[in-house]
């Protein structure tokens, strides 16, 4: 099961005990925020894109949306999400559970600037009914294949 693999991966960073499992879905930002009792912006949603034929993950604050011109300026292509039925094969996790931990080799992961305003955020943990409580520095340290910080989100700035 994906959550067990994510826990094993996070154990390498001393973070496995931070994984939270729910009895109901936490697949959307609203569901995850309700399950955790936190503001939706703190949900660190991991979005999967096809960039020149390669899967790329970008972790964005729950209140952010992809700014297409910023995405194109950074990645030199139009933002194109990976189809849900291809997520497990290309990234390693199903829809609702996509996270930047225990992913397929070679998948690059970026963190969006929208996350930096928080001390604690909650990305998924490999299933549509899980999350992991991390500080932003812990997230940066634990992300697999970390490629850097980007500024591609809109709608979150004050």
Please indicate, yes or no, if residue 140 is contained in any of the structural domains: yes
Range name among 23-32, 42-51, 134-143 with the lowest pLDDT average? 23-32
d(CA 3, CA 122): 15
The answer to the question of residue 78 being in a domain is yes
Q: What is the pTM of this model?
A: 0.95
Q: Is residue 156 part of a domain?
A: no
Distances (CA, A) of 134 to 83, 120, 139, 143: 28, 5, 6, 11
Q: Is 157 inside any structural domain?
A: no
Q: Is 85 exposed, middle or buried (0-12, 13-18, 19+ CB in 10 A)?
A: exposed
> Are the beta carbons of 54 and 106 closer than 8 angstroms?
yes
Average pLDDT rounded to a whole number, residues 108-119 = 97
Alpha-carbon gap, residue 15 to 33, rounded angstroms? 21
Q: Is residue 158 in a domain?
A: no
At 57-77, the pLDDT tens digits run 999 999 999 999 999 999 999
Chain-wide mean pLDDT for the chain?
95
Host domain of residue 76? 2-151
Model confidence at 157: pLDDT above 90? no
> Which residue, 61, 52, 77, is CA-closest to 122?
61
Greatest Cα pair distance, the chain, in angstroms, is 41
More confident residue, 112 or 26: 112
Q: Is 55 helix (H, G, I), strand (E, B) or coil?
A: strand
- Domain of 112, CATH number, reads 3.90.960.10
Q: In total, how many domains does the chain have?
A: 1
Q: In the beta sheet, which residues pair with residue 48? A: 57
The answer to whether residue 66 sits within a structural domain is: yes
């Amino acid at each position: 099961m994906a959550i067990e693999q994510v826990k094993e991966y996070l154990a390498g960073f001393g973070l496995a005990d931070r994984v939270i499992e729910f009895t109901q879905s936490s697949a959307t930002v609203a569901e995850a925020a309700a399950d955790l009792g936190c503001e939706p912006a703190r949900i660190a949603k991991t979005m999967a894109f096809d960039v020149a034929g390669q899967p790329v993950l970008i972790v964005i604050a729950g209140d952010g949306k992809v700014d297409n011109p910023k995405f194109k300026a950074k990645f030199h292509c139009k933002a194109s999400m990976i189809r849900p039925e291809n997520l497990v094969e290309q990234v390693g996790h199903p829809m609702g559970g996509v996270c930047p931990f225990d992913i397929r080799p070679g998948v690059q992961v970026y963190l969006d600037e929208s996350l930096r305003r928080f001390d604690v955020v909650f990305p998924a943990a490999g299933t549509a009914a899980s999350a992991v409580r991390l500080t932003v520095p812990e997230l940066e340290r634990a992300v697999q294949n970390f490629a850097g910080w980007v500024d591609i989100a809109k709608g979150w700035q004050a």
